[in-house]
A and B are shown apart, each in its own frame.
Chain A
Amino acid sequence: MKIRIKYAKTGVLRYIGHLDVMRYFQKAIRRAGLDVAYSQGYSPHQLITFAAPLGLGVTSEGEYFDAEMNSLTSSEDMVTRLNATMAPGMEVKDIVQLKEGEKTAMAVVAASDYLITCREGYGDIHDFTDVLDAFYSQERIEVVKVSKTKETQMDIKPFIYKLEAGENGIYMLLSTGSVDNIKPELVMEGFCHYLNRDYQKLAFRVHRLETYMRNEAGELVSLLEAGVHFHES
């Protein structure tokens, strides 16, 4: 049986990279005494997979991983046990049991939304929100995407599902996942370019709000929708 865990990563935990977060949860699961399943062999590892990696320095209240379990208690009990062993800044928000036949979180991630604010001393976010519509209403938004091996020019407009002024910041809903993974930093880089400003990565704080999958109707819904709460039988 598979469960899906939703957690928030905030505060100083933003300085912990993705691989270390994975190691962190493996140890936390053992401390909490959850009956997780292991691989076979001399160095057994827990059967857990994470949804969408979060960059260093980014905070989030909508992170997910899946775990294969041997047995379950209740959603509530497992949340409580995990939270009893969390470091400040990491909080388990919810746990559901995946319905039969559901794919892993990593496979179904379709989008994430973010709130972007300006870091203190790095300008005013209103410089951006005031001209947001002009930027977003362009027919094409061309950026240079740099990967380990090459640089590619691409139009990211189709992958920006929403871009609007939010409270003290910019709200954006972006395509996420293994196919068209658009990072909020890339959008801000394109925005700066549009405004003829230097892009400084450090100028913006990024906070992920939620990670989404598509339901049968093709609508974006929370990754929790793939499962149900469970209770002690």
Chain B
Amino acid sequence: MERLALSDEILMAVEKPARYIGNEVNSVIKDKSSVAVRFCMCFPDAYEIGMSHLGIQILYDMFNRMEDVWCERVYSPWPDLDAIMRQKEIPLFALESQDPVREFDFLGITLQYEMCYTNILQILDLSQIPLIAIERGETDPIVIGGGPCSYNPEPIADFFDLFYIGEGETVYGQLLDAYKENRKNGGTRYQFLEKAAEIEGIYVPQFYDVTYYEDGTIQSFEPNNPHAKRKIRKQVVMDFDSVPYPMKPIVPYIKATQDRVTLEIQRGCIRGCRFCQAGAIYRPTREKNVELMKQYALEMIKNTGHEEITLSSLSSSDYEGLPDLTEFLIEEMGKLKVNIALPSLRIDSFSLDVMKRVQDIKKSSLTFAAEAGSQRLRNVINKGLTEDMIREGAMKAFQGGWNKVKFYFMVGLPTETEEDLKAIPELCEQLAVDYYTIPKEERIGKVSITASSSFFVPKPFTPFQWASMNTEEEFLEKAHYVKEHFFQQKNRKSLSYRYHDADLTIMEGIFARGDRKLAPAILQAYQNGCMFDAWHEMFHQEIWDQAFEDHKIDIDFYTHRERPVDEILPWDFIDIGVSKQFFIREWERAKKAEVTPNCKQKCSGCGAAGFGGGVCFENKN
């Protein structure tokens, strides 16, 4: 593709012009006159971030396998190009054809984190597509949202024509068929949206009215169009081995954040950690056949030439075929000189052995996602990791030659007390003490234990969806408290502690459980210059504060307020197949610090068995 949307002068003036030229190995070029549907897939962040995302590669491949569809990509232009495009009124273009996005039939935007919301508006604005869905005309693309944040799409509902709730591999065929059919019949945009609203998993926000009580909570959420369903049921792939997987993922020229082959071995998680949204929305847990994974590994390395391969899943240690697969990869990838990057595995003899064979112990570290310092609080969040397991795992590793440990914690969890916070440095100290019990001649130098904490954000479709979130002041006070106690440990020179920024966490908290009242504030913040909010150096707290104030948004209403379980939540219209009753039971058990067994130990009747497959039907207990 020699014709580029941007002139030579512009490309030479901006940082990393390779972000905008397309033409990458394995990108797909079709003849646009011979396809019926043109779909532009967007990850609303920088190219290097978006190109690292597996979901886009899966959908890009799936669409391009359809003969009459051409799927292309677009990412957020970096602010340097953004300014030039606005000044010269250059419409945003897709990478493959370099054609304007506004000429496409669909613009699909993946919603991976809340802090990308202003970037969605940037994409629409630069594409010269009206920002508000109901203001779009017959020739504008249909704007679709999908991905994790679409499980509470309400804060950005005004900007989308429809949301796809669930896994992309299921009903896109139906949706595109409805589109083609409607066009053939000369139907309008509105008529297509009505047809789409009838498809399982498709949510058309403009077909619903929301009313509020005086205190701001939802009074009613009702369809206003006969085609709209009362409940939108999450779409799940049940025949997990036979869905298409990208054998030829696109290979970027510039270094993407994740520059390697990714094998998705498993979707969902059996663990049921109570803070984790992914663990709920991807239920039931499904595994891919290990022989298939071996075949994919060889084929994908051959097709990309990548020098590294990794596994994708929420909890790789729970994958049945893991020993078989790692053995195969160590053998075959070794021959090809391809590195194996293992996602954080549970630390035990098996994983230590594997790690020893694929990486340099001197350079690698052990990772524990302990999430909470005390056993009581780990029980509250149902993190099935005990202090004994951590100490035993670490000791084995220390004896095997490791001396670096990384801990991940969350601060601000429900029911948290000072005792729980103090337990964070104490747990780190305990490992240091354990390390120094090894005779001097058998250990390798000093131990280094690094703890980092993020602040807890309650998410929809978790047992903590009703919970109070800490204020910014509370978060910082707690982090300082933890830090102080790190200084009081005997082995403090072997320990270090870092915590994340609290300001972005508060924003995330507002949007995660937000409602439609937030949309005008998001719009205003964008119009006053906010975008790339996830990039801390580009985050403008003062613009957001002004936007919330102008639109009478009470931050504590969304974050600090504990909700009663009978309140109508903004996302209640979505049915993820896990019942509200289950979440209420789990919320009650959490408050009593009661552990719930994982899906393989015992079924807790969450409702996901209704999908008719996955872990719910394996070795029935």
Contact = CB atoms under 8 A, between A and B. Distances in A.
Given A15-B21, A88-B23, A56 B255 contact: no
Contact of A15 (B11, B255, B302, B304): B11
Interface stretch (A19-27, A73-81, A172-180, A216-224): A19-27
B23 A12 contact: yes
Question: Which residue, B2, B25, B358, has most C-beta atoms of chain A within 10 A?
Answer: B25
B303 A31 contact: yes
Nearest to B252: A20
A128 interface: no
A227 interface: no
A27 B17 contact: no
B305 A44 contact: no
A211 to B, nearest CB: 22
B251 A27 contact: yes
Nearest to B20: A15
Interface string A100-114: 000000000000000
Interface in A57-99: 57, 85, 87-89
Given A12-B4, A15-B17, A31 B23 contact: no
A186 interface: no
Interface string B13-55: 1000110011111000000000000000000000000000000
A85 B255 contact: no
Contact of B25 (A17, A29, A45, A85): A85
Contact of B255 (A20, A46, A57): A20
Contacts of A153: none
B306 interface: yes
Contact of B304 (A12, A17, A27, A88): A27
B255 A202 contact: no
A38 interface: yes
A3 to B, nearest CB: 18
Nearest to B336: A30
Given A42-B360, A202-B12, A20 B254 contact: yes
Contacts of A26: 305, 307
A30 B307 contact: yes
Contacts of A15: 11, 17-18, 21
A124 B361 CA distance: 62
Given A12-B21, A15-B17, A89-B23, A31 B12 contact: no
A43 interface: yes
B359 to A, nearest CB: 6
> What interface size band does chain B fall in?
20 to 34
A204 to B, nearest CB: 11
B428 to A, nearest CB: 28
Contact of B9 (A16, A38, A45, A202): A202
A17 B11 CA distance: 13
Contact of A57 (B1, B12, B251): B12
Contact of A24 (B1, B12, B253, B301): B253
B317 interface: no
Contacts of A11: 2
Contacts of A56: 12, 17
A119 interface: yes
Interface string A136-152: 00000000000000000
A160 interface: no
A209 interface: no
Contacts of B304: 27, 31
Interface string B500-536: 0000000000000000000000000000000000000
B339 interface: yes
Contacts of B9: 119, 202
A38 B23 CA distance: 29
Contacts of A27: 25, 251, 304-307
Contact of A16 (B22, B253, B301, B359): B253
B537 interface: no
B129 to A, nearest CB: 26
B404 to A, nearest CB: 16
B8 interface: yes
B620 interface: no
Contacts of A13: 23
Contacts of B88: none
Question: Which residue, B23, B306, B336, has most C-beta atoms of chain A within 10 A?
Answer: B23
A28 interface: yes
A13 B254 CA distance: 12
A42 B307 CA distance: 12
Contacts of A38: 337
B305 A87 contact: no
Contact of B8 (A24, A46, A119): A119
A31 B302 contact: yes
A29 B25 CA distance: 13
Nearest to A23: B255
Contacts of A31: 25, 302-305
Interface in B556-609: none
A90 B302 CA distance: 19
Nearest to A29: B305
Given A20-B254, A26-B307, A44 B12 contact: no
B500 to A, nearest CB: 29
Contacts of B23: 12-13, 87-89
Nearest to B364: A42
A57 B7 CA distance: 12
Contacts of B301: 30
Interface in B330-354: 336-337, 339
B220 to A, nearest CB: 54
Given A20-B18, A42-B359, A28 B2 contact: no
Given A12-B4, A20-B254, A28 B12 contact: no
A87 B21 contact: no
B308 to A, nearest CB: 9
B61 to A, nearest CB: 18
Nearest to B2: A11
A50 to B, nearest CB: 16
Interface string B215-245: 0000000000000000000000000000000
Given A20-B255, A27-B306, A42-B363, 7 more contacts: A12-B22, A15-B17, A23-B253, A31-B305, A42-B339, A89-B23, A201-B12
23 contacts: A11-B2, A12-B4, A12-B22, A12-B23, A15-B11, A15-B17, A16-B253, A17-B254, A20-B255, A27-B251, A29-B305, A30-B301, A30-B336, A41-B360, A42-B358, A42-B363, A56-B12, A57-B12, A85-B305, A87-B23, A87-B24, A88-B1, A202-B13
4 closest pairs, A vs B, by CB?
Answer: A27-B305, A30-B305, A31-B305, A15-B17
